[in-house]
Structure 1
Amino acid sequence: MHASLLFVSALAASVWGAPAYPRITAVDKIEGVSEYFNLLASKVQESRSRAGPPVCDLSGVSLPAGASSMPAPSEGLTLKHIAIGRGTQNYTCNPTTPGEAPKANGAVATLFNASCAVATSPELAAALTRAALYFDLAQSETLQKLSPSNLARSGVHFFTDSTTPFFNLDVSSAWKLGEIPCGKAGSAPAPQDAPRGLQGEAAVPWLKLSAKQGATGGLQEVYRLTTVGGSAPATCEGMPASFEVQYSTQ
């Protein structure tokens, strides 16, 4: 079995089908949603001239330009999965020191299979990653797909302790890709033009993570790329003792 690399950001071949009507969490932030639907319409038109459905070949997928300052994937690894992550970055504050910056307290996200989408149209997948922040996550979890796309739920992400992000890709009964506890191996600020979050907050940094003991399925590395929102305010002024900031990512 080849050791494997995971990109947290992906799509299903059925992306070309007609999407369901979504519930949108912020009607005044419609640009990203419109961009996704406009691109989807153009890709549907293109698909009609193809001889067959898109092929989910990940061999040609590479890190986006914004990741040039990050460590490259280790030699010999094979890209195994790409997922769009949708969830929250979590923070805590000390009410007695409102001038201090919030402290990171892990993250929670649902992962949706975007491998075919990135392989066939990185542009559309990036637009969907941006639009995903405005879709109702509860609706997507109920439907087991990233509504209004047809990207199936492929995993979950959370922290097992303050320094160990964990990715479980064994949640589907149809196929199991493994689990991977990680530690940070590199980071880079999100590009200056990265989309901001629901309250105008900056995008969280891009990350490279390496496996800790206990990884299964041959998984070795994870990248968090194409982030949207998720950053905490500069200080704890006016913030509760704990709070969440919504984000999406590949």
Structure 2
Amino acid sequence: MRFLPTFLSLVAVSTAAPTNFFDDAYDFSEGLLDYYSKVSQHINRLRHSKTPVGCDAFKITLPSYASGLKAPDGLSPMYVAIGRGTQNYTCADSTSKSTPAAAGAVANLYNATCMAANFPDLLELIPNLIWNSSVPLDVSTFPRAKIQLPANVDLMGHHFFYDATTPEFNLNIAGGGQYGIAMTKKSGSIDAPSTATKGTYGAVAWLYLTATTGTVGKYKAVYRVDTASGSPPDTCEGQPAEFQMKYSANYYFFGN
């Protein structure tokens, strides 16, 4: 599996580097420290394990801390993707009398299925680490664009809105994987927990989305969890007519 060699090389660098190496190179933070600590623990465990590391989606479960959302009863896990992009908003005017209105979202989706199956504790940390990172949204980077993250994950597709109320997850990319298309509608939500990375104004809600007409493949439900940032200010004061807020999240895809 390609993910494990990535772990080993990262730990080798982290143990050999000067104390202040990561300060300039990676803006080393408490979050990254926690991430690398867990990486090291997994490496030590795997060195003494006789069980091979695979990439079996059936091992994936929706995180227990997302219990406030409807459970995927009777459905099977298909894929998990890390999303990084923007939540988009509009303002009628730039005064405190107006409030930002949601105007969809745009994000790259990176295939984290193997990570979710084997290292869910690492996956949980990733949105908080990358929400403010520089990630290309240009389709010319397909299909091998990689997220700027200490993990080996490939671009899987795009998330955007087909219309004002239809979040689309297009997982068919030219020259890459053909994973289908999930056309969805919002069917439930809960507030992001207080531990979520808030960014400037807060983390966007966690969502339960259900598949609608136009879906290609066996998709029945999509969950957005582990959100980081993305919320708008309370009012439109000083804001342009259209603006974006960076965000990241983990997306769990279920089907039958």
Which residue does the alignment assign to 1:45? Answer: 44
Residues 86, 245 of structure 2: 8 Å contact kept: yes
- Out of 112, 125, 135, which is 1:137 matched to? 135
Residues 132, 246 of structure 2: 8 Å contact kept: no
How many Å apart are 1:97 and its aligned residue?
4.1
Identity of aligned residues (%): 36
Which residue does the alignment assign to 1:164? Answer: 166
1:31 counterpart = 2:30? yes
1:245 counterpart = 2:245? yes
Q: State the distance in 1 between where 2:226 and 2:129 align.
A: 12
Stretches (4+) displaced over 6 A: none
1:74-115 CA-partner distances (Å, limit 9, x unpaired): 42x211100010011011112254322200010000001111
Check 1:220–1:205 CA distance in 2 against 1; reply closer, same or farther (3 A cut). same
Q: Structure with the greater relative contact order (CA < 8 A, sep ≥ 6): 1 or 2?
A: 1
1:38-93 CA-partner distances (Å, limit 9, x unpaired): 32233233333334652222323322233222112142x21110001001101111
SS at match of 1:227: strand
Structure 2 regions of 5+ residues with no counterpart? 15-21, 251-256
SS at match of 1:91: strand
Q: TM-score, normalised by structure 2?
A: 0.81
The structure carrying a bigger helix percent of its residues is 2
Greater displacement, 38-47 / 238-247: 38-47
Larger radius of gyration: 2
Q: State the distance in 1 between where 2:207 and 2:105 align.
A: 13
Which residue does the alignment assign to 1:147? Answer: 148
Which residue does the alignment assign to 1:180? Answer: 182
Q: TM-score, normalised by structure 1?
A: 0.83
Which residue does the alignment assign to 2:96? Answer: 98
Residues 80, 116 of structure 2: 8 Å contact kept: yes
Greater displacement, 126-135 / 136-145: 136-145
Residues 13, 54 of structure 1: 8 Å contact kept: no
Residues 54, 116 of structure 1: 8 Å contact kept: no
Greater displacement, 31-40 / 163-172: 31-40
Structure 1 regions of 5+ residues with no counterpart? 1-11
